[in-house]
Structure 1
Amino acid sequence: MTDTIRVFAGDCTITTDGDTHGQRRGEVVAILKPDDTLLVHDVDGYQPVEWLTRAETAHASLDGDSFTLVAATDDHRVRVDCHACHGISRYPGSVAGIPVGACPHCDGTLTRAKGTVSCLGCREEYPIPRRASIGTETCDCGLPTMHVERGAEFELCIDRDCGTVFEAVRRRFHREWDCPDCGADMRILNKGSIIAGCDRYPDCEVGFGIPNGMIVDSCDCGLPVFRTSTGRRCLNTDCEMFEDGRSEG
């Protein structure tokens, strides 16, 4: 579904929080975004004359050649009343991201922003891990592949239909480690996040989230040691070998 940015131009009065003494009037351009952010710009500089980010309510009323815009939160309200309308337009909009390739379905540009790869053409979206890196390689399906470190290095398609991070981690580490409490196998499970959980659950409730990073060593407790963005740590963050879950080295 295409998001729409609405643009309103005209000779307008801008009122904030109902304060008529603080009103401003001029020929301005008002932008109403899909997330109900309202920006009102005049000809001076980059900062809006008035704005309200992600309002709780925002609406536009059209009446012949004039318009009224109102955006409000619990403690703030911006109103724009048009006296002479110069134009009203709608434009397709999207999040601006980093180009990462071409869409194999429509040849549109794929961009990455906020943990998602999106096509500017057909609007397909592919959620990806935030720490994943995207290179120049492509999957057999034509989409880019991503590099993920989750205990080991994995090269996966950005489309989960071609395979998920969980599936790759499970193939590599399922029953690879022993439970430090009872000695049973640790299974790789998807519980909203990827975890290693004891095979004897619920009799044994031991479970650890598998962090981003590479396994670089084995801990004396028998579990793996990860190198993460914040340092080295045991899979068990409460391991006595690691202060606060991380080594001092």
Structure 2
Amino acid sequence: MSETIRVFAGDCTTTFDGARDCARTHRGRVAVVVKPDRTVLVHDADGYQPVAWLTRPDSLTVETDSGGFGLVARADDQTLRVVANESSGWVEYPVTEAGVPVGSHPETGEPLVRAGGAVVGLDSDARFPLPAGATVLDDTCDECGLPTIRAEAGDAFELCLDRSCASLDDAVRERFDRAWTCPDCGSDLRIIRRGGRLLAGCDAYPDCETAFSIPAGVVVDECACGLPVFETARGRRCLDGICDRFAG
């Protein structure tokens, strides 16, 4: 869901006070930007850097009336005050995360962008988390029409962006469940999700608590310890990230 950004403009007196800085006061016709995370930026006509700012304050108070506007932002021992001597006005606009375009939503038609670790919709609360290292492809899912992704977790899988349509966990489980043996007790390793992580965990749990996070990479070899070796973006590694028998 989009949030909002607020912009105030006018002849303002801006005062910043902090324990490590003496109080600074400016007056001029400025634009004050209040971001969704409450960061306040005061811009004048000179250069790109704000006259004053306070990043993610602990508290923010904004007052508006027919006579103008005023705001106070506080973070620890820092206080930023902006008071309009003469108001030019204020507006509020919807904003979203900005990212790389990856297509459109098949149901709503809204643009989809990749922003950080997810694909998000620009006009709704649509959000699709991405597996680590995943690539969004140009193709679309035959079932729902959303973009497809390529994700590596022992093998390379091409799946729907929507986990409820095609689950990476299910794909990895079908390919690797019971494929490896626990080095501590000899039981099968099962593909499970625990604590938000995809794991190869011992089937004898809780008697044996051995479990390994499955890295973003593909299996290319077998380690001297018997576990698989993965080719990852950082090079080759044993499934056991601290294996003392892995030759590299």
Partner of 1:13: 13
CA distance in 2, matches of 1:130, 1:23: 47
What pairs with 1:27-66 in structure 2 (closer than 5 Å)? 27-66=29-68
**Is the Cα contact below 8 Å between 1:225 and 1:232 reproduced in 2?**
yes
Question: Given the alignment, which residue of 91, 94, 99 partners 1:92?
Answer: 94
User: Aligned Cα RMSD in Å?
Assistant: 1.6
**1:171 paired to 2:147:** no
Please tell me the residue identity of whatever aligns with 1:3.
E
Deviation per CA, 1:46-85, whole angstroms, max 9, x where unpaired?
1111111111111211132211111111132111000111
Superimposed CA distance per residue, residues 2-50 of structure 1 (whole angstroms, 9 cap, x where no aligned partner): 3011110000011001789620000000011111111111111111111
Corresponding residue of 2:230: 226
Q: When the two structures are superposed, what TM-score results if normalisation uses the length of structure 1?
A: 0.93
Task: Give percent identity, aligned residues only.
Answer: 52
Residue by residue, what CA displacement relative to the aligned partner does 1:211-243 show, whole Å, maximum 9, x if unpaired? 111111011221100111222111112322237
Instruction: Report deviation, 1:95.
Output: 1.2
Q: Which runs of 5+ in 2 are unaligned?
A: none
2:2/2:124 contact within 8 Å kept: no
Cα deviation 1:179-230 (Å, max 9, x = unaligned):
1122111111100201111111122221111111111101122110011122
Q: How many Å separate the matches in 2 of 1:167 and 1:147?
A: 15
Opposite residue 7 of structure 1, the aligned amino acid is: V
Partner residue of 1:106?
A: 108
Verify the 8 A CA contact 1:107 1:121 in the aligned structure 2. no
Given residue 241 of structure 1, which amino acid in structure 2 is its aligned partner?
A: R
- Greater CA drift, 44-53 or 20-29: 20-29
The Cα offsets for residues 123-145 of structure 1, whole Å up to 9 and x where unpaired, read as: 41111124111120101211101
TM-score (norm 2): 0.93
Does the 8 Å contact 1:11/1:25 carry over to 2? Answer: yes
- List structure 1 segments (4+ residues) > 3 angstroms apart after TM superposition: 18-21
Which structure 2 residues correspond to residues 134-213 of structure 1 after superposition, within 5 A? 134-140=136-142, 141-191=144-194, 192-213=196-217
Amino acid paired to 1:238: I
The count of residues paired between Structure 1 and Structure 2 equals 244
In 2 relative to 1, CA 130–66 (structure 1 residues): closer, same or farther, beyond 3 Å?
farther
Structure 1: any 5+ residue segments left out of the alignment?
none
Conservation of the 8 A alpha-carbon contact between 2:225 and 2:246? no
In structure 1, give the amino acid aligned to 2:104: A
What displacement does 1:102 show? Answer: 1.1
Query: Over residues 149-180 of structure 1, what are the superposed CA-to-partner deviations in whole Å (9 max), with x where a residue is unaligned?
Result: 11100111111110222121111110011111
